[in-house]
């Protein structure tokens, strides 16, 4: 009787273990992320360059994740470049190849200048950062 009960309990234990296993693996492919930047100046002289130091901060690391950058200038005129010299044309996606990078904004106007930066991943997540500058002419500064 004890042997039968032991076999029964052993069989139930094995059945529970087998049923608990699954062929389905939960692989997370969609980690959240953010773009952190150091503070930037509030004013910029027309013709000067402002450096924006950026770091992509990920909540997890998925090997197949790809990140892209897009920019819009809603006020003023200027150019935005990646640290490798790539000119970021408005509304076009450019691949980000590293997590720590710099952006360079060259002012071409006076008055208010606003730039919106969007970081997009290949899963459709978007992070937006905005930068505002008050542009000054060289005569104003002197």
Q: What is the pLDDT of residues 86-96, one digit of tens each?
A: 999 999 999 99
Query: Range of 57's domain?
Result: 35-141
Whether 4 is in a domain gets the answer no
Number of folded domains in the chain?
Answer: 1
- The answer to whether residues 72 and 91 touch, using CB atoms and an 8 Å cutoff, is yes
What integer is the mean pLDDT of 2-20?
A: 74
pLDDT at 104: 97
Query: Could you tell me the pLDDT band of residue 59, with boundaries at 50, 70 and 90?
Result: confident
Whether 70 is in a domain gets the answer yes
CATH at 77: 2.60.40.2410
pLDDT at 18: 64
Whether 62 is in a domain gets the answer yes
Query: Could you tell me the pLDDT band of residue 3, with boundaries at 50, 70 and 90?
Result: confident
């Amino acid at each position: 009787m004890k042997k039968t009960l032991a076999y029964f309990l052993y069989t139930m234990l094995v059945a529970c273990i087998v049923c608990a296993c699954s062929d389905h693996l939960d692989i997370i492919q969609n980690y959240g992320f953010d773009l952190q930047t150091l503070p930037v100046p509030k004013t910029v002289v027309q013709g000067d360059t402002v450096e924006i130091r950026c770091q992509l901060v990920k909540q997890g690391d998925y090997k197949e994740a790809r990140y892209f950058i897009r920019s819009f200038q809603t006020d003023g005129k200027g150019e935005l470049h990646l640290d490798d010299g790539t000119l970021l044309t408005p509304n076009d996606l450019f691949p980000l190849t590293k997590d720590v990078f710099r952006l360079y904004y060259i002012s071409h106007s006076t008055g208010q200048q606003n730039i919106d930066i969007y970081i997009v991943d290949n899963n459709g997540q978007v992070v937006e950062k905005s930068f505002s500058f008050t542009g000054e002419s060289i005569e104003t500064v002197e």
